[in-house]
Amino acid sequence: MAVIRIGIVGHGNLGRGVEAAVSKNPDMALAGIFTRRPPHTITPRDAATPVHTMDDLLAHKDAIDVLILCGGSKEDLPRQSPELVASFNIVDSFDTHARIPEHFAAVDAPARASKHAAVISAGWDPGMFSINRVLGEALLPDGATYTFWGDGLSQGHSDAVRKLPGVANAVQYTRPIKDAVERVRSGTRPVLSTREKHQRDCFVVLEPGADADQVREAIVAMPHYFDEYDTSVTFITAEELARDHAAMPHGGFVIRSGNTSDTQSQVIEYSLKLDSNPEFTASVLVAYARAVYRLHAMGHYGAHTVFDVAPGLLSPKSAEALRAELL
Amino acid sequence: MAVIRIGIVGHGNLGRGVEAAVSKNPDMALAGIFTRRPPHTITPRDAATPVHTMDDLLAHKDAIDVLILCGGSKEDLPRQSPELVASFNIVDSFDTHARIPEHFAAVDAPARASKHAAVISAGWDPGMFSINRVLGEALLPDGATYTFWGDGLSQGHSDAVRKLPGVANAVQYTRPIKDAVERVRSGTRPVLSTREKHQRDCFVVLEPGADADQVREAIVAMPHYFDEYDTSVTFITAEELARDHAAMPHGGFVIRSGNTSDTQSQVIEYSLKLDSNPEFTASVLVAYARAVYRLHAMGHYGAHTVFDVAPGLLSPKSAEALRAELL
């Protein structure tokens, strides 16, 4: 079995998750971690894993089969993915849904020109949830698709609360509303408002002297983030936040319900219950790194998404073994 | 939009389901139904759909883009799929898991030789469940996969009961055992015996004068089919059978639970709740017919399985539209 040599760019929660995921896949090895921070400040899971500065990345080109980009969608990936795909096969988790077509085009051109393969926007949403939205529509064209998120910690909404004046720290949990989920599961295709689908619960540590009522008002009225939801705000101490809210659980459901004829309705549900959002996202990135390695070997250059990757390419098993064991 | 012209071979429950499914897909049209029965005995859903004998199939070669084979896995498909793929692109739902490698090889050679594309063993198990078994393993390599079936009517087990002396008619329902499902969902990776996972409930109409106790004994002791399960047998009248047991519901779950690190466990679940097993299976076949049409157009000849087909190929939408709308 050829070992696929993985490079990690960025060592936040997602990069650490990729380290863990690579260690679970015997057909993969970690070539190195590349960081903008001083390398000696990074502690890899396995002390033997080399840590380098980003400036040294190109010097390791021949030792890396696929680079997994673990930066953020706002600042890092729009710049890094197009730049690095000129020298490497890459996987990223670009998750700004509205800007995916633009990101795809920005990666596709340099990837084709340099004969590299890329999968962009891998993870679980976008990613596995997206696959299930496409399959749901294709299998039940006369139907409706519902995506619910949670119970889970939302990084973007937590950040939005943290930036408010008077807030020292905060976390925000997104929770699907059970009654809405049950109505969708029943196959009746309900029309649901934003407020009916999810609620948002915030746990906030105030700055000394901050006005709790003012902070609460600023949160619940925040446009796009909170104003369309029922939002609870609970004030806690820094100690409580550290003790009770350090985990990063998440998950959710994609439900497609539809009719195959007038009287026969069918319900498809895909659900995730994740102890660790970054570790699961990282596991998806690593499986797609295997696919990228194979796409490149087959001469399928350019940008791809999860929609373009056959399921078998994610597995370490051969097509023959998959047919015999798992079909 | 090019219209994909579908031919249906065989007009049982599955063939009727394909008729219904094609009518839900505006990019498809029904070229004809082909049957071994006298064509005038067939009543298609849409009276305008032509019905022909199997003997006329080759004469309609130029009017059919993809042939959907709706026969059984025991007698029909092992013979029909290899024979018909020499003249047509085909999709079948061959579901004898143990003989899939053999069937694949038997279809692959004539498909390549005649430059046709085939997808074999499409449906939900094998099919959508298989995809989820492969994805589950690939995303959570340190884990365990569980497949549960039901609540649903099992055709094979119903047939086995019907063949017993003293039985006039019968249906058998497979039911997952709730406690086992909950243990699996909790992520603890329990080891479960066959008896702990499913129970089997039979509803039997006796022949006049048959001995109920003897029939019950013959059922519960039947090797492979019932002896490893807790089986209930309820005797009912022919009228009750016709009134209460005419539907063909089915469904089930594929659950993968695994660890991405020592302390973090993750659970993926795919579930189906089907009013009509044959209509849903037919909907899957029709979506894969679209993929076969495209595989053929791309020059990807030979046999394929659901593992070889990228999700985007199942959708009528373009890759650009999928990225913009569903990723």
Identify the pLDDT of residue B132.
98
- Reported ipTM: the value is 0.96
**More reliable by pLDDT, A46 or B322:** B322
Contact B308 A312 (CB under 8 A): yes
The minimum CA-CA distance between B55 and chain A, rounded to whole Å, is 30
* Identity at B284, one-letter amino acid code: V
The minimum CA-CA distance between A139 and chain B, rounded to whole Å, is 6
Sheet of strand A117-119: strand arrangement: A51-53, A28-35, A4-9, A66-69, A89-91, A117-119, A302-304
The Cα B275–Cα B20 span in angstroms is 14
State the SS3 of B27-67: CEEEEEEEECCCHHHCCCCCCCCCEEEHHHHHHHHHHCCEE
Average pLDDT over residues B59-66: 97
Beta bridge partners of A32: A7
Confidence of residue B1 (pLDDT cuts 50, 70, 90): low
Contact B142 A101 (CB under 8 A): no
The percentage of residues in chain B with a pLDDT greater than 90, rounded to a whole number, is 98
A288, A314, A325, A323: which is closest to A303 by C-alpha? A288
Contact A260 B309 (CB under 8 A): no
For B209-222, b where at least 16 C-beta lie within 10 A, e where not — what string? ebeeeebbebbbeb
**Chain segment A193-247, per-residue pLDDT in tens:** 999 999 999 999 999 999 999 999 999 999 999 999 999 999 999 999 999 999 9
Q: Using an 8 Å Cβ cutoff, are B51 and B315 in contact? A: no
- The CB-based long-range contact list for A73-81 (8 Å cut-off, 24+ gap) reads A76/A10, A77/A103, A78/A103, A78/A106, A80/A9, A81/A106, A81/A107, A81/A118, A81/A120
Nearest residue in chain B measured CA to CA from A248 = B264
pLDDT at B80 over 90: yes
Contact B131 A270 (CB under 8 A): no
Identify the pLDDT of residue B283.
98
Which residues does chain A have with pLDDT short of 70?
1
178-207 in chain A: CB under 8 A from chain B: 185, 187
Average pLDDT over residues B192-205: 97
Record the tokens describing residue A321, joined without a space.
Answer: 């073994």
Interface size A-B, in CB pairs within 8 Å, comes to 212
Identify the pLDDT of residue A294.
98
144-183 in chain A: CB under 8 A from chain B: none
The Cα B191–Cα B197 span in angstroms is 10
| Cβ-based contacts of B321 with chain A (< 8 Å) | none
Bridge-based pairing of strands A4-9 and A66-69 is parallel
Three-state secondary structure call for residue B320: helix
Identify the pLDDT of residue B2.
78
The minimum CA-CA distance between B214 and chain A, rounded to whole Å, is 37
Residue A301 near chain B (CB below 8 Å): no
